Structures are given as structure tokens and as C-alpha cells.
């Protein structure tokens, strides 16, 4: 590698690779369905309920299992994209002023354009899909203090 300008081509390739690899968990959360943890034998071993109440608890759980699964899947999808967005916008905002000082050498202008476009797409999707709002709605850790 006698030509130092080729380093920008390598940087672009590494950037694309990292952007795609770090997006995989978000795509997996969108495509895959997360399974609920099994309900276990807590109902059967409980001394606080009689047999009829235990049966009603099992039936109630089986009715709400679909809703619980939906909420768990949505939470994971929004949490994953929120983390992706947060990490990449921090990296892009730190690197942009540094790389802008190197404009004019090799493909540095392309690298900066790719980073800025990636950041704009992330923020556009984040705002357009209202990820922060939906994450707070679906998150099981949401606690309201009155």
C-alpha cells in the first residue's frame, strides 16, 4: 500500500461493514419473533389457590400470551433500533468535524458524505417512526411516578 489515498477506500469499506453488521440485531428483532419464557409450574405449586382458581389462571395466561408476545417483540425491536441510532449518531457527530478537516485528500469527501447520509437516514427513521415514544410505550420498565 504505497498509495496513502487508498486508505479512504478502506475506511469506506470498513464503515459500510460496521454499519451493516451493527444493524443485524435490529433486523433480526424485526424479522424474528421472540418467544415468551415458559409459564412454569408456579400455578400448580401455589398454596394460595384452589384447583379451580389455578385452572382459571392457566386459561387467563393462555389468552394473554399472544398480547404478551406482541409487546415483547415490539419492545425488542424499538430497543434495538434505539441503541443502533444512539451509538451511530454519537460516532458520526464526533467523527464529522474531524474528517471535515481532511477533505480534499483521497476519497475523504466521499467518506464524509457517506457518514452524513447514514446519520441523516438514521435520524429520519428514528423521528419518522417515533422510536423514542414507542419505546417508552412498549418498555416493561416504564414506571410512572404520580
Name the pTM for this structure: 0.81
Number of domains in the chain: 1
Selection from 96, 79, 84, 80 nearest residue 123 by Cα: 84
Asked if pLDDT for residue 145 goes beyond 60, the answer is: no
pLDDT tens readout for residues 116-140: 999 999 999 999 999 989 888 877 6
Question: How many Å apart are CA 38 and CA 35, to the nearest integer?
Answer: 9
- Does any domain span residue 78? yes
Tell me the residue range of the domain where 121 lies: 6-24+40-138
- Does any domain span residue 146? no
**What's the confidence (pLDDT) of residue 91?**
96
N- to C-terminal Cα separation, the chain: 63
Selection from 113, 33, 43, 122 nearest residue 86 by Cα: 122
Asked if pLDDT for residue 144 goes beyond 90, the answer is: no
111, 15 Cβ separation under 8 angstroms: yes
**What's the confidence (pLDDT) of residue 4?**
63
- Does any domain span residue 32? no
pLDDT tens readout for residues 50-93: 888 888 888 888 888 888 888 889 989 999 999 999 999 999 99
Selection from 142, 47, 19, 48 nearest residue 11 by Cα: 19
- Does any domain span residue 66? yes
- Does any domain span residue 124? yes
- Does any domain span residue 1? no
- Does any domain span residue 110? yes
- Does any domain span residue 105? yes
**What's the confidence (pLDDT) of residue 85?**
96
Average pLDDT score over residue span 86-107:
90
Amino acid at each position: 500500500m504505497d498509495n496513502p489515498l487508498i486508505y479512504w477506500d478502506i475506511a469506506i469499506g470498513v464503515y459500510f461493514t460496521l454499519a451493516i453488521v451493527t444493524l443485524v440485531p435490529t433486523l433480526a428483532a424485526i424479522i424474528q419473533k421472540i418467544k415468551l419464557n415458559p409459564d412454569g409450574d408456579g400455578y400448580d405449586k401455589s398454596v394460595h389457590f384452589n384447583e379451580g382458581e389455578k385452572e382459571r389462571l392457566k386459561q387467563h395466561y393462555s389468552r394473554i400470551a399472544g398480547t404478551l408476545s406482541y409487546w415483547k417483540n415490539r419492545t425488542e425491536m424499538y430497543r434495538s433500533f434505539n441503541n443502533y441510532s444512539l451509538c451511530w449518531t454519537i460516532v458520526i457527530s464526533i467523527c464529522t468535524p474531524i474528517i471535515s478537516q481532511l477533505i480534499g485528500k483521497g476519497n475523504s469527501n466521499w467518506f464524509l458524505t457517506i457518514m452524513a447520509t447514514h446519520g441523516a437516514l438514521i435520524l429520519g427513521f428514528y423521528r419518522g417512526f417515533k422510536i423514542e415514544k414507542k419505546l417508552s410505550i412498549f418498555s416493561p420498565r416504564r414506571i410512572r411516578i404520580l
